[in-house]
Amino acid sequence: MCSVPAHGTATPAREVCRAPRLLRSSIRGVRRARDASPGRIPDPRAERLARPPPLGQAAAPPRPAPPRLPGQFRAAGGGAAPRGGGGPAAAELESDRRPPQNRCASAAKRRARRVPLTEKFVLLLVFSASSPSAWGHLFLPDSSKLLSGVFFTRRPAAAPAAARGQPRAPSAARRRPGGGAAAAGRAGSLERIRADHERALREAKETLQKLPEEIRRDIRQDKEKLLQDARGRKEAGAPGLPQRLFRQPVGAVGQEPADPEVRQRREKIKEMMKHAWDNYKRYAWGLNELKPISKQGHSSNLFGNIQGATIVDALDTLYIMEMKEEFKEAKEWVEKNLDFNVNAEISVFEVNIRFVGGLLSAYYLSGEEVFRKKAVELGEKLLPAFNTPTGIPWALLNIKSGIGRNWPWASGGSSILAEFGTLHLEFVHLSHLSGNPVFAEKVMNIRKVLNRLDKPEGLYPNYLNPSSGQWGQHHVSIGGLGDSFYEYLLKAWLMSDKTDEDGKKMYYDAVQAIETHLIRKSSGGLTYIAEWKGGLLEHKMGHLTCFAGGMFALGADGAPSDKTGHHIELGAEIAKTCHESYDRTRMKLGPEAFRFDGGVEAIATRQNEKYYILRPEVIETYMYMWRLTHDPKYRDWGWEAVEALEKHCRVDGGYSGIRDVYNNHESHDDVQQILYLRFSEDDLLPFDHWVFNTEAHPLPVLHKDDENKEENQK
């Protein structure tokens, strides 16, 4: 066994025998050199003893040698060496005194005793320390400068003895600017950490002493505070809107009608609005719609998880009718609860005309900044819908993921003309209010795509594929699927202060094609607008098509001089036909669609066309015709509709639709309860300063003079 006795202890053989041969041979060579000529290797202690004392100091007395213990012999240098633990010379001397016959037997023991345990540790430490120094600099970067400021504090070197009497040089902290500040900063950090720990301990003790109800209350309060802070940060940083000096457009507030009868009717309409609003607030506050029969809230899938459609939709009506408390409540709800950060698939068209349009209108009427911020925020959420090969937007969009698609029933996955063509007004205003041109660029690109396409007979089919840029099924309608596209062409020109020549040309070219191929006159003299399907006419007119009467009359101003009167007359003829569709029912409310074939005129012949769902298009045309002609019959026709609504549609929970307008039995369907009506003088929202989007939200004309004034103010 290999063993090395050291101070009376034995070391296992593997601790010596496993050492590398090179290390053992090196150690052996060093020992032999020291044993052979010990005088060659100077002893530092001897040198210190031999060195003369400094000037002025007495020589120190010699240190006495330690007493020799029994069993020890005197080693070289006069010191006593312990048995088995002496220096190498003593070990060699002891081995040489043994008989020759025992030398070979004890060779292994002599080799083991050559390296005492203490010296082995020293050598291993030296080897361990020198290896990283020798090899580490080849691979490791010099991080001393990086770490010196973190782990070490530099101290100035001590002055030499000769200069100790001279003035002391400034320290490193004094020489280097910020040195003292860094030390103070570290001390301050430690103090803050201690203070945080103490505060956390105090809060924990206080929490443990509270009752469970108090803890739950505190949690709710903390949660509400966090949500409010998050909303504040989002509103402060999300849209990044430029500063804008609000100036209320002309006509936002009008005068009371001079005619007492008109005032009375106007107050009645306001009472109807209050009846619907109060019930919505009582039974469905914060939800999208109210089912007036069951008195339950309803969230339409057109808006996904976005809530409050009725609130946003009614903001401008509440303001115009001077329902100040109701408007204040609605504004507060929008501030605190209207949230667009939801994982939901929405209808781009419906969200645009109701939410974006309602918020824009509320801002222009009231000047409340929250409406501008919310409108721009929602507009940005809608932008991914335009990420198609042609830039024609998808009909449906997940506003969280940005993934869009079209209605599965649309022709070959096509987008719908009335949907992608009814974004222009709102998106131009979003660019105007945000300073971001991307909104206007998106809708202008739609124009470019449409202008590159061939139109069958100058007409715009209802379906356009957003990937190929080609028309889908050749179905042309001025009612559903196509209606508001034509309306927005005209109103884009009007809203631009009549500078959008491209929109103007597209509108009047379309009207000419409509007159040529779709407008017909019945045997009884009623003018109607048919639908065109692959070159064949279907002599049916929908309730939605009745908006065209007001559109034709509104567009008379920009028509050629020889056509101005014709456009007014065309609008009046359409208004008369739509009034006949109301007047020929038992309830004096118009059906969803009516036909002009089989010996009937302006009557619904199919059961699935006899319902009425509070659509406003006919009453909208009456309003335009009254404003443009001041013919009193249009106000009378409007009042007939109001009386019919009160008699047949009013219920305890609001206003409901009718299943069959030709049947005296009132079977109601659950639909939205807000009907936007208005009896007013011409100075309230005048047409030369305002346009209405397709959901009847008023948007101001962007006068060039006003824009120049805003730029000068900036």
Dig out the tokens for 647 from the structure.
């008699």
Quote the CA–CA distance of 541 and 518 in Å, as a whole number: 11
Give bridge partners of residue 603 from the DSSP assignment: 595
Active site residue 617: yes
Q: Which two tokens stand for residue 359?
A: 């918020």
CA gap 295, 556 in Å, rounded: 44
Eight-state DSSP code of residue 496:
T
Residue 339 has, within 13 A of its CA and on its CB side, a CA count of 15
Pick from 531, 412, 434: which is nearest to 483 by CA? 531
- Both tokens of residue 138? 């080849």
Check if 350 is active-site.
yes
d(CA 510, CA 513): 5
Q: Choose, from 380, 419, 483, 531, the residue flagged as catalytic.
A: 483
Tokens representing 302?
A: 């057109």
CB burial of 665-702 (b: ≥16 within 10 Å; e: otherwise) equals: eeebebbbbbbbbbbbeeebbebebbbbbbbbbbbbbb
- 316 vs 700: CA distance, rounded Å: 13
601 is catalytic: no
Reported residue count of the chain is: 714
Burial environment of residue 90 by CB neighbours within 10 A (0 to 12, 13 to 18, 19 or more): buried
Residue pair 353/306 in contact by the 8 Å Cβ criterion: no
Q: What number of H helices and E strands is found in the chain?
A: 27, 22
Q: Which two tokens stand for residue 86?
A: 């002496």
- Pairing type for strands 396-398 and 345-347 reads antiparallel
Q: Is 666 a catalytic residue?
A: no
User: Which tokens belong to 251?
Assistant: 């006509």
d(CA 696, CA 694): 5
- Backbone torsions φ then ψ of 368, nearest 5 degrees: -70, 120
CB-based contact 308:338 (threshold 8 Å) = yes
Which residue among 92, 419, 500, 592 is the active-site one? 592
Rounded distance between C-alpha atoms, residue 660 and residue 645, angstroms: 14
Percent helix, strand and coil across the chain, each to the nearest 5: 55, 10, 40
Q: Which residue, among 253, 277, 278, has the nearest Cα to 367 in the 3D structure?
A: 253
Spatial contact of 423 and 485, defined as CB atoms under 8 Å apart: no
Beta bridge partners of 612: 658
Known binding residue 694? Answer is yes
Q: Which of these is catalytic: 316, 368, 377, 617?
A: 617
Distances (CA, A) of 433 to 19, 151, 253, 430, 491: 83, 55, 22, 5, 19
Per the CB < 8 A criterion, the answer to whether 417 and 480 are in contact is no
State the catalytic residue, choosing from 35, 350, 609, 669: 350
Beta carbons within 8 Å of 198's beta carbon, 6+ residues apart: none
User: Which residues are within 8 A (CB) of 73 and not within 5 positions of it... i.e. 6 or more apart?
Assistant: 80, 81, 86, 90, 94
Binding annotation: 694
Catalytic residue annotation:
350, 483, 592, 617
Which residues carry a binding-site annotation for Ca(2+)?
A: 694
